[in-house]
């Protein structure tokens, strides 16, 4: 379980994240949604110790993220931020293989190599595994990054806008892969998503943020209704039920 | 592996050629027909072997230093001479020469290292503060910083009548290498040896701070380790034979084009290519105006800037 208590981030006088307390249960997919500037990415960065908190604390399975040795944490929790840019010329396989670094410290065993192959397979990158990252399309690169994070084989997988750069087909298959990772591999997946329909269709829980605070949280059905969405986004969003699942329309 | 072995053999062959070029007659027949105490053997032992070793050690060390810098700065056009490192090291030696001229070489080297580390740290700090979107802006900032440091150094070198001495540090030249005056370079080799053990860390750092933290490494510590190696190696090379501009830029880039930036895999190749490059340029410099010599810094300047241009233009076409 990930437990955040009173987490805040201030830049000067501006509070970007304002005293967020949250428990993310182990297992399943949790999506964090909300308008731009709600503090979603900042919150995720603090949970994953990439960004210092101004106040508050975060524990992962009881371990304080600011005090636990970073390499120990790296075997429990992985994080992929948005807009990744790697200048170094690495092949897809090299990149994915570095996901094993927290476990093997660079000396990959046969078992490590197997996990590397599986991760590459999982993201359908086998044909591209020897290509350099700078020779790939944005979407392919995004899949390579996710393969690396899965290769890290942590209980908790945190992804900031993993659907960035992906077209509809690849966005869908990415969500399916994450769903499989949650269901088959028992991972706890935490996402920041902009597309609330993807969040609705594939997540178990939704956390909605606004102005640096959590304004709603709960199972998908509790969040995906007209009045709650109106409060989060300040606009009219109609919700339709299709085959027992909820889809929203907000194009007019 | 077999390819690498072939490359190492090529370097050894170049080293062999390097041993037998020069005004003094040091050929196999001359060596065999004279006593070990005679001139040919003495020239070989006191001048030729030290010079060849110095070339190999400096070439390997500078090339590896360039790679480390490129990974840490996350920019392919950064190396000690485009980041203020060489200029800072020169300033350090000048300070020693003015205030403590009697200090032994190792002391000079340590002071130069401290200056080099400080100068490079300033450069990295500037990079962190200004978001530099363009790849080419980064080395330009480094060259400007180096220019500022060098101008201060030149001013004081002029006031203290040390301009000529200063020239010796900034323009690599192996003609003065003799037994007893190059051994510090083994230290540089030892330092770059550390790089082989922590190669993966430099690759990870090359992915950026977030990736490094995600993989459980302390970014600042990797940075500090890398910059310390860079600063000390640069100081050693500047103190002993003088800087060879662009070596640390061209060799890693050529190797990167061929096999990518997984440092653990590319490092042996970078070392071998660096040695081969320096040996070749030195041999050319010794042959072009035989029996006179052109300093390697000059030869490499010509060859290096040519390759540098090729790299720049090649990049553009790949993007376009």
Q: β-pairing, A28-33 with A188-192?
A: parallel
User: Considering only CB atoms, which chain B residues are within 8 Å of A107?
Assistant: none
- The DSSP call for residue A77 is E
For the B2-319 domain, the top CATH level (class) is mainly alpha
Across the interface, which of A72, A91, A106 has its CB nearest the CB of B260? A91
First to last CA, chain A: 39
Arithmetic mean of pLDDT, A163-172: 91
Query: Does the pLDDT at position B319 exceed 60?
Result: no
Q: Which residues contact A187 (CB under 8 A, 6 or more apart)?
A: A154, A155, A156, A157, A181
Q: Residues A60-89: pLDDT tens digits?
A: 999 999 999 999 999 999 999 988 888 889
Distance separating alpha carbons of residues B316 and B297, to the nearest angstrom: 28
A188 interface with B at CB cutoff 8 Å: no
Q: For chain A, what are the domain ranges? A: 2-76+154-249, 84-153
Alpha-helix residue ranges (DSSP H) falling in A37-151: 40-47, 70-73, 92-97, 101-104, 110-122, 138-151
Q: Is the pLDDT of residue B58 over 80?
A: yes
Cβ contact, residue pair B75, A87, below 8 Å: yes
**In contact, A70 and B212? CB cutoff 8 Å:** no
Average pLDDT over residues B197-208: 94
Mean per-residue pLDDT, B193-201: 93
pLDDT band at A195 (very low <50, low <70, confident <90, very high): very high
B 188-247 residues with CB < 8 A to A: 199-200, 203-204, 206-211, 213-218
8 A C-beta contact, residue A7 and residue A56: yes
From chain B, pick out residues whose CB is under 8 angstroms from the CB of A74. 214-216
Q: Which of B292, B86, B97 is nearest to B170 (CA)?
A: B86
CA dist list (Å): B228 to B77, B91, B274: 19, 17, 20
Structure tokens at B90: 């020169």
Phi first, then psi, for residue A76 (nearest 5°) are -105, -35
Q: Nearest-CA distance from A84 to chain B in Å?
A: 9
- A103 min Cα distance to partner chain B (Å): 9
**What ipTM, to 2 d.p.?**
0.92
On whether any CB of chain A is under 8 Å from the CB of B315, the answer is no
Among chain B residues, CA nearest to A86: B207
3-state secondary structure of B131: coil
- Partners of residue B317 in chain A, C-beta under 8 Å: none
Beta-bridged to residue B92, according to DSSP, are none
Closest alpha carbon to A99 in A79, A81, A85: A79
- What value, to the nearest 5°, has the Cα angle with vertex B60 and ends B27 and B71? 165
* Domain positions in chain B: 2-319
Task: Choose the closest CB to A101 out of B204, B208, B261.
Answer: B204
Burial of B229 (0-12, 13-18, 19+ CB in 10 A): buried
Contact state of A86 with B206 under an 8 Å Cβ cutoff: yes
Taking CB atoms and an 8 Å limit, are A50 and B204 in contact across chains? no
For B132-159, what is each residue's pLDDT tens digit? 667 888 888 999 999 999 999 999 999 9
Does residue B316 have a pLDDT over 60? no
pLDDT of residue B133: 66
pLDDT at residue B164 in the model: 83
B210, A86: Cβ pair inside 8 Å? no
Q: B51 pLDDT exceeds 70?
A: yes
Which three-class secondary structure state does DSSP give residue B198? coil
Q: What is the CATH number of domain A2-76+154-249?
A: 3.40.50.300
* pLDDT tens-place string over residues B83-126: 999 999 999 999 999 999 888 888 989 999 999 999 999 999 99
What pLDDT does B318 receive?
45
Which pLDDT score is estimated for B311?
Answer: 80
- DSSP tag of A128: G
From the candidates A87, A95, A100, A158, which should be mutated to test the interface with B, based on the most B CB atoms within 10 A? A87
A-chain CB neighbours of B207 within 8 Å are: 86, 88, 90, 95, 98
Query: What is the DSSP track for B231-287?
Result: HHHHHHHHHHT---TTHHHHHHHHHHHHH-S-HHHHHHHHHHHHHHHHHHHHHHHHH
What integer is the mean pLDDT of B205-229?
94
Whether B75 has its CB under 8 Å from any CB of chain A: the answer is yes
Contact (Cβ atoms closer than 8 angstroms) between residue A101 and residue B215: yes
Q: What pLDDT digit, counting tens, does each position of A84-94 carry?
A: 888 889 999 99
Q: In chain A, what is the greatest distance between 2 CA atoms, to the nearest angstrom?
A: 55
> Closest chain A residue to B77 measured between Cα atoms?
A87
Q: How many Å apart are CA A237 and CA A160, to the nearest integer?
A: 24
The answer to whether the CB atoms of A80 and B260 lie below 8 A apart is no
The DSSP symbol for B162 reads -
At residue B315, the pLDDT reads: 60
Burial of B3 (0-12, 13-18, 19+ CB in 10 A): exposed
Pairwise CB contact (< 8 Å): B216 & A102:
yes
B298 pLDDT exceeds 90? no
């Amino acid at each position: 379980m990930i437990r955040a208590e009173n987490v805040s981030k201030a830049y000067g006088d501006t509070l970007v994240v304002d005293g967020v307390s949250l428990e993310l249960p182990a297992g399943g997919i949790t999506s964090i949604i909300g308008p731009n500037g709600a503090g979603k990415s900042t919150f995720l960065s603090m949970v994953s110790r990439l960004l210092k908190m101004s106040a508050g604390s975060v524990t992962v399975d009881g371990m304080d993220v600011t005090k636990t040795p970073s390499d120990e944490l790296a075997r429990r929790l992985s994080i992929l931020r948005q807009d990744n840019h790697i200048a170094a010329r690495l092949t897809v396989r090299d990149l994915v293989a570095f996901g094993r670094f927290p476990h093997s410290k660079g000396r990959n065993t046969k078992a490590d190599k197997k996990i590397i192959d599986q991760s590459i397979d999982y993201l359908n990158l086998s044909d591209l595994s020897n290509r350099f990252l700078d020779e790939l399309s944005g979407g392919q690169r995004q899949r390579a990054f996710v393969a690396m994070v899965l290769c890290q084989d942590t209980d908790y997988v945190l992804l900031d806008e993993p659907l960035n750069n992906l077209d509809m087909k690849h966005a869908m298959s990415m969500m399916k892969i994450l769903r499989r990772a949650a269901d088959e591999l028992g991972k706890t997946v935490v996402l920041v998503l902009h597309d609330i329909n993807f969040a609705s269709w594939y997540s178990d829980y939704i956390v909605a943020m606004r102005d640096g605070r959590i304004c709603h949280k709960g199972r998908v059905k509790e969040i995906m209704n007209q009045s709650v969405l109106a409060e989060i986004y300040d606009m009219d969003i109609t919700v339709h039920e299709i085959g027992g699942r909820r889809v929203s329309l907000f194009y007019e | 592996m077999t390819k690498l072995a072939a490359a190492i053999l090529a370097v050894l062959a170049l080293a062999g050629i390097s041993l037998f070029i020069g005004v003094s007659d040091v050929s196999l027949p001359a060596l065999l027909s004279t006593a070990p105490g005679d001139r040919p053997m003495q020239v070989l032992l006191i001048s030729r072997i030290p010079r060849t070793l110095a070339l190999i050690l400096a070439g390997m060390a500078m090339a590896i230093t360039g790679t480390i810098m490129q990974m840490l700065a996350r920019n392919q056009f950064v190396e000690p001479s485009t980041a203020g490192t060489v200029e800072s090291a020169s300033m350090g030696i000048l300070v020693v020469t003015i205030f403590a001229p009697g200090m032994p070489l190792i002391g000079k080297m340590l002071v130069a290292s401290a200056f080099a580390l400080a100068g490079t740290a300033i450069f990295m700090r500037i990079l962190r503060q200004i978001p530099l979107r363009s790849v080419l802006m980064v080395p330009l900032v480094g060259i400007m910083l180096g220019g500022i440091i060098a101008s201060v150094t030149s001013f004081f070198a002029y006031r203290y009548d040390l301009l000529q001495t200063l020239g010796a540090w900034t323009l690599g030249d192996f003609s003065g290498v003799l037994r007893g005056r190059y051994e510090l370079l083994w230290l540089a080799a030892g330092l770059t040896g550390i790089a082989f053990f922590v190669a993966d860390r430099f690759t990870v750092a090359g992915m950026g701070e977030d990736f490094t933290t995600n993989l459980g490494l302390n970014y600042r510590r990797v940075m500090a380790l890398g910059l310390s190696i860079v600063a000390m190696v640069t100081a050693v090379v500047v103190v002993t034979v003088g800087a060879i501009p662009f070596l640390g830029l061209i060799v890693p880039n050529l190797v990167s084009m061929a096999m990518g930036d997984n440092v653990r895999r590319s490092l042996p190749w970078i070392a071998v290519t660096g040695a081969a490059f320096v040996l070749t340029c030195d041999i050319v410099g010794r042959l072009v105006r035989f029996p006179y010599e052109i300093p390697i810094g000059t030869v490499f300047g010509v060859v290096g800037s040519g390759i540098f241009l090729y790299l720049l233009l090649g990049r553009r076409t790949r993007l376009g």
